[in-house]
Structure 1
Amino acid sequence: FVETKRYMDFISPGSQAKEGSFFGLEAAFEGLAPG
């Protein structure tokens, strides 16, 4: 998930909603990966 955080930093550096985007991606990973 560290890579994911850095990826989000690359997309929107200094974004105040970085946590929201991170949780959104986390939910996406849960949907893609079983378990």
Structure 2
Amino acid sequence: MMMALKEEIMATTWALSTRIEELDRELALWRVAVGK
């Protein structure tokens, strides 16, 4: 049980950090587009 939970948390964390990186890139593009 504990093992499955840990793997699930790791998968969620990995998915979140991937999503944050995507958002970071989008934000950088917006800054360039807006010119700030």
* TM-score, normalising length: structure 1: 0.50
Runs of 4 or more, structure 1, over 3 Å off, are: none
Contiguous gaps of at least 5 residues in structure 2: 1-13
Identity of aligned residues (%): 5
Aligned ranges 1:15-30 → 2 under 5 Å: 16=15, 17-30=18-31
Kindly name which structure, 1 or 2, has the bigger radius of gyration based on alpha carbons: 2
Q: Number of residue pairs matched? A: 22
Q: Which has the higher contact order (CA 8 A, sep 6+)?
A: 1
Structure showing the higher helix proportion among its residues: 2
* TM-score, normalising length: structure 2: 0.49
